[in-house]
Amino acid sequence: MCRCGSPLLVSYDIEGAKEALTKRGLSRRVKSLWRYHELLPLVHPENGVSLGEGMTPLLTARRSGEELGLRRLFIKDEGVLPTGTFKARGAAVGVSKAKELGVRAIAMPTNGNAGAAWSAYAARAGIECYIGMPKDAPSVTMAECLAYGAHLFLVDGHINQVGRMIERACSEGSAYNVSTLREPYRVEGKKTMGFEVSEQLGWRNPDVVVYPTGGGVGLIGVHKAMQELAELGWTQGDMPRFVAVQSAGCAPVVEAWRKGARECIPWENPKTVAFGINVPKPLGDFLILESLYDSRGCAVAVEDGEILKAQRTLGAKEGLFTCPEGASTLAALNRLVSEGWIDRDETVVLLNTGSGIKYPETVRVEVPLYRADQSVTFDRSLDSA
């Protein structure tokens, strides 16, 4: 972080990277985010701490696309990453860089998933890890932090409040504060989603990228990735239009975007099932909004009910049990298509940021219970419903 409190971003010698990095050479490289190491911040790639992260599938969403009349709808499934969310990307690069810099202990506030991911990578790097979480965060992620040997504490408050506690505790130099955008390397990890989407689409930019936005690191990162690829001269087409999706229960970015503002006003009483996007005031709000304005994108708020409905659609139509954050992108897409903001022949990428397996409470298990000596019949008419 800059002394003035603003985030710092990493920039690269793109001309130099052009020599070492070629499209053909890339196809022979390791199938993880480290394949783009010239555009990642490690001085020595062998300092990378890896659990096999990256190169997640870009799936066609044929059945849900057909329903919307979209021919080219894709879902980037980040649920298959280590610890089940795309937070693994930020953690892999962030922890690797911390290790390269000789950091011995890290600390962070989290709504759950980042804590799980950073705990795992810190364990692998041999770095002490201190995690603070709102007490209402998904309990699976608490168990994960403990399983990875992190020091966990819970707070009766929201993530920005936990952040201030971490900041005070770190000010004595006891641990390196790795909160969202306090250090510049997490964005670098998350931007690799953008590299992969481009590579998987044959270096043709999608028209629209839909992203569930909390702290905004993913959105800022993917936007940065697309700019770097354009500088490399690798991609064809305009910059994609970025869509920031939030829950109506916590939508500071949407509110700011509607007003054409450059930063967010802190959201009062934030509340949503999509815990990963429950961020009342992102530190990088001005960068998120800049990405939206710069790309002629937009911001959309969807109700939790719409999110859970979209989650069921993705499960039943695509075989994907997504996290509610990921499902929010389909809920937003429904709106954008019906408003005509998206054309039916445009290429659209939804980012599913994590697996629904981490949110078991989002699906209520209400099914018939039989005695073992009873017989069951299958009503085939249900199949075609």
Contact 127, 91 (CB under 8 A): no
- Residue 214 interacts with ligand PLP (CB under 6 A): yes or no: yes
Q: How many residues bind ligand PLP (CB under 6 A)?
A: 17
Q: Which of residues 86-105 bind ligand PLP (CB under 6 A)?
A: 87
**For residues 232 and 295, which CB has a smaller minimum distance to ligand PLP in the complex?**
295
How many other CB atoms are there within 10 angstroms of residue 21's CB atom? Answer: 18
As a whole number of angstroms, the distance between CA 320 and CA 232 comes to 34
Q: Which of residues 27-86 bind ligand PLP (CB under 6 A)?
A: 85
CA distances from 14 to 3, 10, 17 (A): 27, 12, 5
- Residue 217 interacts with ligand PLP (CB under 6 A): yes or no: yes
Q: Phi-psi region for residue 83, left (φ > 0), alpha (ψ -120 to 50) or beta? A: left
270-288 exposure pattern, b = at least 16 Cβ within 10 A, e = fewer: bebbbbbbbbbbbbbbbbb
Task: Write phi, then psi, for 232 (nearest 5 degrees).
Answer: -70, -15
Window of 15-23, 214-222, 257-265, 289-297 that interacts with ligand PLP by CB under 6 A: 214-222
Give the one residue of 115, 132, 194, 218 binding ligand PLP; rule: CB under 6 A: 218
Q: What is the DSSP string of 225-281?
A: HHHHHHHHT--BSSPPEEEEEEETTB-HHHHHHHHT-SSPPPPSS---S-GGG--SS
**Computed from CA positions of residues 20, 22, 25, 31, in that sequence, does the dihedral angle turn out positive or negative?**
positive
Contact 116, 137 (CB under 8 A): no
Window of 40-48, 69-77, 208-216, 293-301 that interacts with ligand PLP by CB under 6 A: 208-216
Q: Least distance from C-beta 272 to ligand PLP, angstroms?
A: 11
As a whole number of angstroms, the distance between CA 77 and CA 273 comes to 20
Window of 144-152, 160-168, 206-214, 333-341 that interacts with ligand PLP by CB under 6 A: 206-214
- Residue 280 interacts with ligand PLP (CB under 6 A): yes or no: no
**For residues 65 and 252, which CB has a smaller minimum distance to ligand PLP in the complex?**
252
DSSP state of 166: H
Q: Least distance from C-beta 127 to ligand PLP, angstroms?
A: 21
Q: Least distance from C-beta 340 to ligand PLP, angstroms?
A: 27
Contact 114, 144 (CB under 8 A): no
**For residues 48 and 189, which CB has a smaller minimum distance to ligand PLP in the complex?**
189
- Residue 113 interacts with ligand PLP (CB under 6 A): yes or no: yes
Window of 18-26, 101-109, 160-168, 212-220 that interacts with ligand PLP by CB under 6 A: 212-220
- Residue 245 interacts with ligand PLP (CB under 6 A): yes or no: no
Contact 106, 182 (CB under 8 A): no
Q: Least distance from C-beta 90 to ligand PLP, angstroms?
A: 8
Q: Least distance from C-beta 370 to ligand PLP, angstroms?
A: 36
**For residues 21 and 252, which CB has a smaller minimum distance to ligand PLP in the complex?**
252
As a whole number of angstroms, the distance between CA 104 and CA 370 comes to 55
- Residue 284 interacts with ligand PLP (CB under 6 A): yes or no: no
Which residue number has the CB closest to ligand PLP?
276
Binding site for ligand PLP (CB under 6 A): 85, 87, 113-114, 212-218, 276-277, 323, 325, 353-354
